[in-house]
Each structure stands twice: as C-alpha cells, then as structure tokens.
Amino acid sequence: MRNPLLENWNTPFGIPPFTKIEDTDFAPALEAALQIAQDEIAQISENPEAPTYENTIAALELARCDLDRVAGVFFNLAAADSTPAREELQREFSPRLAAFASETALNEALFARIERLWQQRRNLALDSEQTRVLYLVRRRFLRAGARLRGGDRVRLKAISERLARLSTRFTQNLLTDEREWFMELAENDLEGLPDFVIAAARAAGAEKARTSPVITLSRALIVPFLQFSPRRDLRERAFRAWAARGANGGETDNRAIAAEILALRHERAQLLGHTDFARYKLETEMAKTPQAVRKLLMRVWAPARRAAEADRKVLEEMMHAEGINGPLEPWDWRYYAEKRRRAEHDLDEAALKPHFRLDRMIEAAFDTANRLFGLEFRRLDVPLYHPDAHAWEVTREGRHMAVFIGDWLARSSKRSGAWCSAIRVQQKLAGDIRPIVVNVCNFARPAGGMPALLSFDDARTLFHEFGHALHQMLSDVVYPSISGTSVARDFVELPSQLFEHWLERPEVLERFATHAETGAPLPAPLMRRLLAARNYDTGFQTAEFIASALVDLAFHEGPPPADPIAREAEVLAEIAMPHAIAMRHATPHFAHVFSGDGYAAGYYSYMWSEVMDADAFAAFEETGNVFDRTTAARLEQHILSAGGRDEPETLYKAFRGRLPGVEALLKGRGLA
C-alpha cells in the first residue's frame, strides 16, 4: 500500500493530506525518510570531487527535505493532537533523529569539506547570504562536536540520544498529568463564578464524559477559576494540583528526569570545551554571557519585587477583612487581585470578556497584518488534522505568501501552552517555496453553540503567536536553515512581543472588540479603564517570570545540581521570592527548559526581547501613526524577512539605528 506521507501532495498549496494519513503510516515514512537523508549525507561526504559551495553547503541544505517534510507533519500532530500511538512513535524516533544529527555533525569527511570551503571563502565569490550560511553551518558543526575524537565522540552521541529520550519523556509525563487530573464541581460549587467560567467548566466536563462541570489543569480554565471562585478550599486544591504537575510520584514524575537532563547538558558542554551549559548556550545569543543575563534580570527584579510586596500587603488586608487569618497564599493572590481590580479600575472580567470573541480577535490580527504589511487572508475549505483547526491562504498583491493554520481551543490531546511552528519553511533554494505556518493555543472551549470568548490576556497570546507567524510568512531568504524564526533565541521573541502592542490600540479595539451577543463596540469608558489597567498586577506577573528565568540560569551555570528542587528553593530564597507568588513554571513542569534545549538557559529571552519590542514600537509611535507603512516596510526588510541572514544586533540597528536600553521596558511595565 502506498504511503501518503511519501507521495507528492497534490493538494491545495501542498498542504499535507491529513485525512489520508493514518498513525500506522508514520513509522515506515520516518524510517524511509531517515534512510534517504542518511544516503544523501553519505553522497555529500564521499563525493570524490573537490568541495564547492553547491556540492557541499547547498547540498546539505537540501539533504533533509524528505525527512523534514515527514517529521514536520508528525511532530506538529504529536504536540497538537496526541494519541498513544504518536506518543510511542515519539519515544522511538526522537533518539534516532538525535543520533542522525550527531552522526552528521561528527562525520569527519563532511566537516573537512566544510572547513576547506571556510578557509577558501574569500576566493569563492559568495554573496552575503551564502557567506552567512557557510559561517553558521561551520559553527553548528563545531558546536556539535566536529573536532572531538575517540571516546569523546562516542560519549557525545550517547548524550544526545539520551537527552532526546528524556526530553520526550518529560513532555509526555506533563501531558499525562494535565490530561488525567480534574476536579468535579457540584452545582453549589459554581456560586460566584461568572457565566463564561461555568460554561467552560461544563464543556470540560462534557469532554471528560462527566455530567457535572469540571476544572482541569488547562491554564485557560484554572486561572479564571482561581480568579473568581470564592471557595478558598477549592482554589487551594486546584492550585496545588496545578503546581504539582510532573511531581506526583510514579511513572510521570519528572524530578529525576530534570536532574539527569541537567547533568547531561553540563557534561556535553564540558566535552565541547565550555565551563558549563549556560556559557555554551549563550555564546551564540545576543546576551553572550550569564553575567549579562543576570544583570538584566536583577535590574528588573528589584522594582518588580517592591511592587509585588506593596500589592501583597493590600491583598492580605482585603483577605483579613473577610475574616481569613494568616498570610496570603498563592491560591489567594489571583482572587483578591481580581477583586481589587474591579474596585480600583471598575473592571469586571465577566463584563469585559464578551467583547473578546475568538473569531473577532482573529480578524483583528489579520486586519493589523493587512494595514502594516498588505497581507490578505482567504479562508480555505481543506481537510486538516482536527475539526478545531482552520486554514487560510495568505496573499499580498495577488501573490501567494503562505498557508496559515490556526488551532486555538484547548483539548486533552494537546500539550499545554501556546506556540508557533512550521510544517514547511520558506526558501528559494529548491524553488519558490512558501511556508505552512501553524499557531496553536489552549483557550477555553465554549459550551455547545456558544462563541469562544477570550480574556484580554488570551487575546494578547493570540497576537503574540501571530507575530511569530508573521516572522515565518514574511521570510524572504534563499537557504532554509536561516528561514523565518531561525534566529537567536533572545531575538526570536521580538516580532511576537512587538505585535502584541497593536492589540492595545484604541483603533483596533474600537473595531474588533464587539460584544458577542449585541455586536456593540467596547464602550469607550470601559476601554479607557482597560488600557489604564494594563500594568495592573505587574509586580506579580514580572516576579513570577523573573523567578523562573533566574532558576533556569542557575540550573545551567556552574556544576549541575544533584537535586534541582533544592536548588530551585535556594534561588528563590536568595532573591527573597514573595511567599504568595509561585514561579510561573516550577521545575517538574518547566517544559520550556526540559522538553528540549531551545529555551534551556534561555527563558530570560522573553525579557531580553521585550527591551527591543518596547523600543521598536516607539519607532511607529514617533511617526504619529502606529500603522505607518514606511516603518513597517523597514521592520519587514531588516527583521521579519531577514531570518538569520545577519547577526541580531546588526539587523536591529539597521531597523532602529541603535540598540535600546532597559528603560523602555521598565516604563512599559510601569516599573520605572
């Protein structure tokens, strides 16, 4: 029987033929594609002809095409719509793919060809993009151990395979804990909850095949429950379950896995000539050193902690006034912060949320992209991997730019969080290849027939991930390895965080924040109060983030901790973390750090990018028109279309003329 994953996809825009793909197709397709990739690497390394840019570097760029195509489909589905069969395949193939990557990087003949081209680069008549790709390919091989010999090479390969197994296990354990825990609510437990939370709880109960409403560990459901439930006992139970993900003992416990991952990363960094993993990781980032990261984080930590402590006193007094003694606890903060917000800013989430319909916020993101970059979006009637997912063709002046797939609602088969990925990236090496970009979120599922409603934070998440999608859609490079979001980790969040600013613009809210039932626009007084309160509770939000970033940095700087949980506690004590605020991501469920190396020693990058995004949006404000097309064209030219074709500092300076300071960030967060 023919395997649809290995055939030419005669579908609109080359979208994978999802309805034809069975789980049983993935293993043979991955097997075949992996063998093709191995054969292609062997042909390049064993080529008897002298190395040229075309027969070595360009050939390498194309060597994984079949594998990338199959893996792009598989890993997107494994994250967004997991099944037991897909989880088993992840456990089988993740270490094999890691082994293939190691074998490629440690191929002596192949690296010799790359090194020879590097030494001859000034005589090769390369353009700037080719020179950049050659530099990055060589650097990637060096950082993967190309110069190691003997037992060190064998050990490095074993470490890579083991890390792939552990990261997959960490992610799947977390998904299992999130999928299996839920708290049933009796009808009297719903007292005090707004209608949208009750509707989401009933929808979650239906998904769990329960007749009663339930609270799950989906952030889109548990956070509003913690905000609104007057039942302190239920808030505590829900919060403790949320905080305990990955630390419940048994087969899904992630604590020993985290310790082993940290030890292996440290060993790998030392094999590659670095003191520790943090210095290895940051060498290629904008920050360059752990000291630079810590300096930024601590510069913001001090005012954030002061603001949080001032807020804690107020919230604790509110709690005591209700006759509840003792300190404010983490399961109390959101409840009393929401009460205070209603009192001080006259903002009621229940009144606000009907104005943020999911479909209208999607339209708002599309319209903003149109006004800035001239992009147009046409809904496609094509079969996708799940009924929740929808697709659009993206065009500009009649030219096909991308396919965009949005999958926004929470379900038990989807891992938590929000992300942007690409099933196919933009490139010109194998023709004018346009990307297929996916945004995945976990917004609360509405009751049957009702529109999905977002919080303002949810809407910001939608805009954030769409900013990543624009980075992919507007990419305009030749070589796939530098396409789209293939940039330094502490630069990749700039486009996403920058795009969030447009959600807060009155001209966007006036048009798209329309009431779900009446269609009436967001009342002007309510909009003013919403925007005036956008920095409300910023001490809490900043503290929970920085604590996680500092713990991540401490894990990877110096010797690895034998007990990560104890090291986490030490870091929190060193910075005097407020008792009533928990880390945004505690170690056993810190997927950013332990589900792969991407954000390891790099969780700080959101804040590093925030320094730039505040300054970059100021460039639009300075024109007197935040939709200024000239500034948008400059942003596209130097950042969104550029991918990784130059150093981030160079790209940002080309757009803005200089690098920014931290002052814009502090001002933007109300911490100046």
The per-residue b/e assignment along 407-423, b for 16 or more CB within 10 angstroms, e otherwise, is bbbbbebbbbbbebbbb
Residue 191 carries which DSSP code? T
Q: For residue 242, which of 603, 586, 594 has the smallest C-alpha distance?
A: 586
- Maximum distance among all alpha carbons in the chain? 83
Integer Cα distance of 485 and 188 in angstroms:
48
Q: For residue 337, which of 539, 576, 543 has the smallest C-alpha distance?
A: 539
The per-residue b/e assignment along 28-50, b for 16 or more CB within 10 angstroms, e otherwise, is ebbebbbebbeebbeebbebeee
Residue 117 carries which DSSP code? H
Neighbouring-strand partners of residue 402: 394
Integer Cα distance of 330 and 326 in angstroms:
13
Count of C-beta atoms within a 10 Å radius of residue 518: 9
Q: For residue 472, which of 433, 437, 440, 441 has the smallest C-alpha distance?
A: 437
Which residues touch 503 (CB under 8 Å, ≥6 apart)? 364, 459, 460, 463, 509
Active site residue 568: no
Neighbouring-strand partners of residue 490: none
Residue ranges of E strands in 253-302: none
* Alpha-carbon 147 to chain mean position: 32
Integer Cα distance of 463 and 384 in angstroms:
22
Count of C-beta atoms within a 10 Å radius of residue 177: 24
The answer to whether 552 and 604 have CB atoms below 8 angstroms apart is yes
Integer Cα distance of 456 and 608 in angstroms:
23
* Alpha-carbon 290 to chain mean position: 22
According to the 3-state scheme, what is the secondary structure of 373-387?
A: HCCEEEEECCCCCCC
Among residues 349, 465, 544, 610, the one annotated as catalytic is: 465
Sign, CA torsion 119/122/123/126: positive
Instruction: Give me 63's structure tokens.
Output: 């060597």
Count of C-beta atoms within a 10 Å radius of residue 136: 18
Q: For residue 574, which of 591, 553, 556, 592 has the smallest C-alpha distance?
A: 553
* Alpha-carbon 234 to chain mean position: 30
Instruction: Give me 18's structure tokens.
Output: 């999802």
Termini Cα distance of the chain: 65
Neighbouring-strand partners of residue 453: 357
Residue ranges of E strands in 198-265: 214-216
The answer to whether 457 and 465 have CB atoms below 8 angstroms apart is no
What dihedral angle (degrees, nearest 10) is formed by the CA atoms of 323, 324, 326, 328? -120
The answer to whether 603 and 557 have CB atoms below 8 angstroms apart is no
Integer Cα distance of 152 and 159 in angstroms:
10
Element (H, E) at 37: helix 23-45
Backbone angles phi, psi at 156, to 5 degrees: -60, -40
Catalytic residue numbers, as ranges: 465
